[in-house]
């Protein structure tokens, strides 16, 4: 047996945990909690046996089992409220921006605009499942063509990755964790962006997704039943008691059934009673249940049959009132998300303290195809790829899951999230709706076939994400800038250019062409600077200088305290006063050089005489 394999993996007693280094161990293995934990590369991790994994997992004394039980309960507590905060964030985002998202999705436009609208709508409502369901509904209602629906779905694939990128920013307290977490989050972004970069022009030229899915479908499909994942049944009711978004508003604005959200206001509850029967039920559907002469009416915030009206529901509310409530809930959810993320990370860190990385790597290293299946299965259960990747992101930040293992898990999440669209299509009973849902599935499968099986291609998103993580370590301004530029500024720029060409006039077409040429020239100049003029190294040097300056500013108060202490010791030794005013008084009393020279000159004159 090799020396590396003989490394003991059983954690030390918790009272004796100390920060160590792999240099201190004869085997050179790294343990969680080591001072040089972040320096270990994947290739440096030794191979453990399954016997060692079993020993580290299951062989403990009674005291350690007690710690494990308490830690598990704590982790589950923080995980539940972490998921609750994500659900609350999604509900609140739909309330705040649901009208805008519905308006965006309602327009039948060109492919580029459809792609951007899908991305922006998903980023606004914080849910690709919601966007996909609305797109499927639009196609089923003949409000949007199948081709436009495919491009909207492509955009939704990009927009869904904004959530876990925001979650990664919750680990800004530690440079090591932020680097790994941001890389783990952006590997999802880069895969989706690269897939769109290849498959969007391919679909534009050949329409292969359209014709492939059309050939697979019958002339008609039977309606299916709605299905909710078990996790939604556990988390959603609690979030629904705080605020519950009315998805029908978004769908009806998108399908054109109503012109704007203003038609839903003011909120009206029959006889002033705030419950589902008097506020949210339809007169046509539940005529026998509603008492009074008027129908109830709800806006962006609605009531639920089982849980009733949420805390932020208000009879007589205006659109502004509901959106203000949504903004408040977004702030609450973000605060709760950060607190739960910090708690979850802290509990996991304590549980892993002293554990050998060889054991963790062995336990989590599974073949890529199985990781894809696991990611898909988890996403089907939770009904959200954002939840899957958001939960995995802090685990990557801790170093439990390597970046190479995160990629196939996120690919599986992409596959799993297509189930929501398929179920929505089956409920609609329209062939066209099912065609769009299948196009979503085959789009993700095509992206996996392009970027994952071949190691050389796989390295493109991995190395890109790893570079972003390293830059984030040097400057914590990178994550917010990245989110704003990638998910909002660039899409809005593309949407503006698309609008210029949609005018179909010589002036606007010429202006749009000039802007496109300028953008292409700027990109070409940037690539030349980056590749030929050592721009990459100059950028890294700039980040290094900013990092040094930031660290200097942080340590300056400590340095000043030490400097004052040294000055005090020097003053005590020399007899000089420490007080600045006393020093000034002595300086005033002390004669100047000219005054001191006058008696000497006078004496010299007398001597000469």
Three-state helix/strand/coil letters over 26-83: CCCCCECCCCCHHHCCHHHCCCCCHHHHHHHHHCCCHHHHHHHHHHHHHHHHHHHHHH
Helices (H), 207-288: 208-216, 230-242, 247-255, 276-279
Return phi, psi of residue 129, to 5°: -60, -40
Instruction: Return the closest-CA partner of residue 333 out of 98, 75, 84, 77.
Output: 84
According to DSSP, residue 245 is labeled: B
pLDDT for res 191:
93
Q: Which has more pLDDT, 350 or 303?
A: 303
Summarize pLDDT for 234-243 with one digit per residue, the tens.
777 888 889 8
pTM: 0.73
pLDDT for res 178:
87
pLDDT for res 283:
58
Map residue 13 onto helix, strand or coil.
coil
Residue 609 has pLDDT above 60, yes or no: no
Q: Are 357 and 40 in contact (CB under 8 A)?
A: yes
Residue 301 has pLDDT above 70, yes or no: yes
Task: Work out whether the CA dihedral 463, 464, 465, 467 comes out positive or negative.
Answer: positive
Instruction: Return the closest-CA partner of residue 234 out of 393, 377, 390, 82.
Output: 82
CA-to-CA dists, residue 213 to 412, 428, 592, angstroms: 21, 17, 97
Q: What angle do CA 79, 80, 84 make, to 5 degrees?
A: 115
pLDDT for res 247:
81
Give the span between the Cα atoms of 312 and 536, in whole angstroms.
Answer: 50
pLDDT for res 11:
46
Q: What percent of the chain has pLDDT over 90?
A: 10
Residue 584 has pLDDT above 80, yes or no: no
Mean pLDDT of 12-32: 54
Residue 273 has pLDDT above 90, yes or no: no
Give me the residue spans of the domains in the chain: 4-64, 70-246+321-352+365-502, 266-317, 503-533, 538-608
Q: Alpha carbon 123 to chain centroid distance?
A: 11
Mean pLDDT of 352-365: 69
Give the span between the Cα atoms of 151 and 123, in whole angstroms.
Answer: 16
Q: What percent of the chain has pLDDT over 70?
A: 75
Instruction: Return the closest-CA partner of residue 128 out of 337, 386, 333.
Output: 386
pLDDT for res 443:
93
Q: What angle do CA 252, 256, 259 make, to 5 degrees?
A: 90
- Between 49-53, 192-196, 595-599, the lowest mean confidence (pLDDT) is in 595-599
Residue 423 has pLDDT above 70, yes or no: yes
pLDDT for res 291:
45
- Between 54-68, 82-96, 166-180, the lowest mean confidence (pLDDT) is in 54-68
Which pLDDT band holds residue 103 (cuts at 50, 70, 90)?
confident
- Between 128-137, 160-169, 226-235, the lowest mean confidence (pLDDT) is in 226-235
Which pLDDT band holds residue 16 (cuts at 50, 70, 90)?
very low
Q: Are 340 and 85 in contact (CB under 8 A)?
A: yes
Mean pLDDT of 541-563: 70
Tokens of 82: 């972490």
Strands in 165-274 per DSSP E: none
pLDDT for res 201:
92
Give the span between the Cα atoms of 270 and 253, in whole angstroms.
Answer: 24
């Amino acid at each position: 047996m090799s020396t590396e394999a003989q490394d003991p993996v059983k954690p030390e007693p918790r009272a004796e945990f100390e920060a160590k280094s792999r240099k201190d161990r004869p085997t050179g293995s790294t343990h969680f909690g080591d001072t040089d934990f972040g320096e270990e590369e994947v290739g440096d991790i030794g191979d453990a046996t399954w016997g060692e994994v079993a020993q580290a997992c299951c062989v403990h004394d009674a005291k350690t089992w007690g710690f494990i039980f308490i830690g598990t309960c704590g982790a589950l507590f923080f995980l539940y409220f972490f998921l609750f905060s994500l659900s609350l964030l999604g509900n609140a985002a739909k309330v705040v921006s649901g009208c805008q998202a519905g308006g965006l999705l309602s327009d039948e436009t060109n492919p580029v605009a459809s792609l951007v609208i899908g991305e922006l709508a998903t980023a606004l409502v914080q849910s690709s499942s919601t966007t996909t369901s609305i797109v499927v509904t639009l196609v089923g209602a003949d409000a949007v063509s199948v081709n436009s629906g495919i491009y909207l779905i492509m955009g939704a694939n990009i927009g869904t990755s904004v959530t876990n990128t925001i979650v990664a920013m919750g680990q800004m307290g530690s440079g090591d964790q932020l680097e790994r977490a941001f890389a783990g989050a952006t590997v999802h972004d880069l895969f989706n962006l690269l897939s769109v970069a290849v498959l969007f022009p391919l679909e534009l030229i050949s329409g292969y997704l359209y014709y492939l899915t059309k050939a697979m479908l019958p002339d008609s499909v039977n309606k299916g039943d709605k299905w909710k994942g078990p996790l939604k049944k556990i988390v959603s009711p609690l979030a629904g008691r705080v605020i519950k978004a009315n998805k029908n508003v978004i769908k009806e604005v998108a399908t054109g059934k109503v012109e704007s959200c203003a038609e839903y206001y003011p909120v009206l509850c029959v006889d002033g009673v705030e419950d589902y029967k008097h506020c949210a039920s339809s007169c046509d559907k539940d005529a026998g249940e509603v008492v009074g002469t008027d129908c109830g009416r709800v806006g962006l915030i609605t009531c639920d049959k089982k849980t009733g009206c949420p805390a932020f529901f208000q009879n007589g509310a205006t659109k502004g009132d509901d959106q203000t409530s949504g903004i408040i809930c977004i702030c609450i959810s973000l605060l709760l998300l950060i607190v739960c993320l910090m708690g979850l990370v802290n509990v996991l860190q304590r549980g892993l303290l002293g554990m050998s990385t060889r054991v963790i790597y062995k336990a989590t290293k599974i073949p890529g195809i199985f990781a894809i299946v696991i990611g898909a299965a988890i996403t089907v259960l939770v009904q959200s790829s954002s939840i899957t990747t958001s939960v995995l992101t802090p685990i990557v930040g801790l170093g439990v899951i390597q970046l190479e293992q995160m990629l196939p898990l996120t690919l599986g999440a992409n596959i799993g999230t297509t189930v929501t669209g398929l179920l929505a299509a089956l409920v609609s009973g329209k062939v066209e709706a099912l065609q769009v849902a299948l196009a979503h599935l085959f789009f993700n499968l095509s992206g996996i076939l392009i970027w994952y099986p071949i190691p050389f291609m796989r390295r493109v998103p991995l190395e890109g994400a790893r570079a972003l993580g390293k830059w984030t370590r040097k400057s914590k301004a990178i994550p917010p800038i990245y989110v704003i530029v990638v998910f909002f500024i660039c899409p809005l720029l593309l949407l503006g250019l698309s609008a210029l060409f949609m005018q179909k006039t010589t002036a606007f077409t010429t202006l749009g062409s000039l802007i496109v040429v300028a953008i292409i020239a700027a990109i070409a100049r940037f690539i030349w600077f980056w590749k030929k003029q050592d721009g990459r190294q100059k950028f890294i040097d700039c980040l290094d200088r900013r990092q040094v300056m930031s660290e200097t500013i942080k340590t300056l108060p400590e340095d000043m305290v030490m400097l004052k202490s040294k000055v005090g010791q020097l003053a005590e030794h020399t007899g000089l006063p420490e007080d600045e005013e006393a020093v000034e008084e002595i300086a005033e009393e002390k004669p100047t050089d000219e005054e001191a020279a006058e008696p000497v000159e006078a004496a010299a004159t007398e001597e000469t005489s």
